[in-house]
């Protein structure tokens, strides 16, 4: 029997990682490379992308600075990457922005901003990998969701709506791509200590942040905790898992 947990379990594959310039996406890109995969890392900040490229173990990795705005341009961008670098074995879609704003103050421009990076870009990726020769058969697509996709919180209407929509996309896309044995899954993360988390908790006092940590049975997570789950879902170890939303939340949602 093949050991799907071997050090080189992603060797020979090319993996597109969005949000690779920071946090969870960066940690996932580093772990993919450590498992032998070739990374196409994407984000908006060219300086941080260059830093990622230098940090990735192995050779052949590339970075592509791209602001993800709408499904059509994202589809074209992914197809361009495939023309240049070959078909993808997997995609980890980590790009996304947070928003804490009550519904009464949330404008169309806020919705556009929150939905662009996560849902519209996710849809553009979905369209691209649905087309011939863009993703290899038995490939894997992993999209970042959040506990906010299934739970409610004051000020999170737009963000929650975006992540719930991502989970809906995952369920139907998994049905469409199953004929090619391509798997599609989401990760619903709890609070993970990244730049996004720092921005979200910046205004909270020490007591409120401690209470927020306690709402997770295992406290706040680290980017590597999510990267480990992402690489599992990208690898052959999860070959019988599709259409699922995996909670990686330190026990937040059982409470
Ligand atoms: N941290 C948490 O507690 C947490 C919890 C649940 C879910 N999540 C989700 O996990 C994912 C990663 O979050 P993180 O904590 O790692 O955040 P982060 O450190 O702020 O990183 C976000 C990444 O997304 C990229 N990005 C955002 N909007 C983009 C756009 N429109 N086009 C292209 N790239 C864009 C950023 O690029 P640049 O920096 O280069 O601009 C950055 O690489 C997000 O989808 C987030 O919603 C996070």
d(CA 46, CA 42): 9
pLDDT for 80 equals 98
- Rounded distance between C-alpha atoms, residue 246 and residue 149, angstroms: 12
Indicate whether residue 64 lines ligand 1 (CB < 6 A).
Answer: no
Burial of 27 (0-12, 13-18, 19+ CB in 10 A): buried
User: Is ligand 1 within 6 A of the CB of residue 194?
Assistant: yes
**DSSP H/E element including 145:** strand 135-146
1 CA from centroid of ligand 1 (Å): 37
Query: How many CA atoms does the CB half-sphere of 201 hold within 13 Å?
Result: 18
pLDDT confidence of residue 207? 95
In which band, very low, low, confident or very high, does the pLDDT at 1 lie, cut at 50, 70 and 90?
Answer: low
What's the pLDDT at 203? 85
For the residues 17-44, what does the mean pLDDT come to? 98
What residues contact 88, with CB distance under 8 A and at least 6 apart?
Answer: 14, 15, 16, 40, 78, 81, 82, 129, 134, 135, 136, 139
Using pLDDT thresholds of 50, 70 and 90, give the confidence band for residue 188: very high
Whether residue 175 has its Cβ less than 6 Å from ligand 1: no
7: pLDDT confidence band, cut at 50, 70 and 90? confident
- Ligand 1 site-directed mutation target among 45, 94, 250, most atoms within 8 Å of CB: 94
Q: Domains in the chain, start-ordered, CATH in brackets?
A: 14-249 (3.40.50.720)
Q: Give the pLDDT confidence of 56-99 residue by residue, as tens digits.
A: 999 999 999 999 999 999 999 999 999 999 999 999 999 999 99
Find out whether the beta carbon of 68 lies less than 6 Å from any atom of ligand 1: yes
pLDDT digits (tens, 9 = 90+) for 100-135: 999 999 999 999 999 999 999 999 999 999 999 999
pLDDT confidence of residue 241: 98
């Amino acid at each position: 029997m093949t050991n799907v947990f071997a050090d080189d379990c992603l060797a020979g594959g090319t993996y597109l990682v969005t949000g690779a310039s920071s946090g969870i996406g960066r940690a996932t890109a580093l772990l993919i490379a450590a498992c032998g995969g070739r990374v196409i890392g994407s984000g908006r900040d060219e300086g941080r992308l260059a830093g990622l490229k230098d940090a990735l173990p192995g050779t052949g990795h590339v970075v592509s600075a791209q602001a993800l705005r709408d499904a059509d341009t994202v589809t074209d961008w992914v197809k361009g990457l495939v023309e240049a670098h070959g078909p993808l074995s997997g995609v980890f879609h980590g790009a996304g922005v947070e928003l804490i704003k009550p519904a009464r103050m949330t404008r169309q421009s806020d919705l556009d901003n929150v939905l662009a990076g996560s849902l519209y870009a996710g849809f553009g990726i979905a369209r691209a990998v649905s087309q011939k020769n863009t993703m290899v058969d038995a490939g894997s697509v992993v999209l970042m969701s959040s506990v906010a996709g299934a739970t409610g919180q004051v000020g999170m209407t737009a963000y929650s709506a975006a992540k719930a929509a991502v989970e809906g996309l995952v369920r139907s896309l998994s049905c469409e791509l199953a004929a090619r044995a391509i798997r599609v899954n989401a990760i619903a993360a709890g609070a993970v200590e990244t730049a996004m988390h720092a921005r979200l908790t910046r205004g909270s006092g020490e007591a409120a942040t401690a209470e927020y940590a306690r709402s997770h049975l295992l406290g706040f997570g680290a980017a590597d905790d999510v990267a480990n789950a992402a690489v599992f879902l990208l690898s052959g170890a999860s070959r019988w898992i599709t259409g699922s939303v995996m909670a990686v939340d330190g026990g937040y949602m059982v409470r």
